[in-house]
Amino acid sequence: MRRDPVTAVGLAAAFGLFALTFRGDRRRFWERMTLTGFVLGNMALANERELRRSRTRLLDIAQGIGSAALLYGIFTFGDQLARRVMPRGEDEIRDIYALRQAAPKDEIALRLATVIAPAEELFWRGFVQRRVGGIAAAAAYGGAHLVTGNATLVGAATVAGIYWGLLRRLGMSMPALITSHIAWDVWIFLLAPTEGAEEESSSESATSR
């Protein structure tokens, strides 16, 4: 395990930026999240030569999409569990998806694919995990979301952090992880949200009555 002042500065910056991003005006959320990604992603690139040398192969794309599909399945199950087990699970999931209204969907997709998702992998898995280990990195990733006050989101971030951290530990390349994060973000947030599945199920139940 490697600890140094750069890691401490990076984590402090991440926690501070996440606080500014999630506690500010929700109408400007995606602008702030993009700025957060830009800063953290470039911090990772500036300090990790290996990340700057990464090149994407067809295998990386295939692995990324496959791993995103598996994570989507995990979250589909987790969504239903959270709604039943957590006292405010359903409200908290609805609150997360409400951020889709803060900007046009094509703009959100562009921000996720070009800055936010790549930056999160570069920083949390490429920079933090390399220096402090997978468990600590996943805990920090989840901890950075505590400022939201949304227990479901904190849990989701921690699970995702453990999942991608494990894949990194098993040798998945950074381009594959970035592809996975992009595909999963767009998939679960814009194309096939778990909230939509719940609403569709509820609508069918109401119709059958």
pTM: 0.88
Given this model, what pLDDT does residue 203 score?
38
pLDDT tens digits, one per residue of 93-126 = 889 999 999 999 999 999 999 999 999 999 999 9
Question: Helices in the chain by DSSP H: which ranges?
Answer: 5-23, 29-47, 49-52, 58-85, 89-97, 105-111, 117-120, 129-132, 134-143, 151-169, 174-186, 194-208
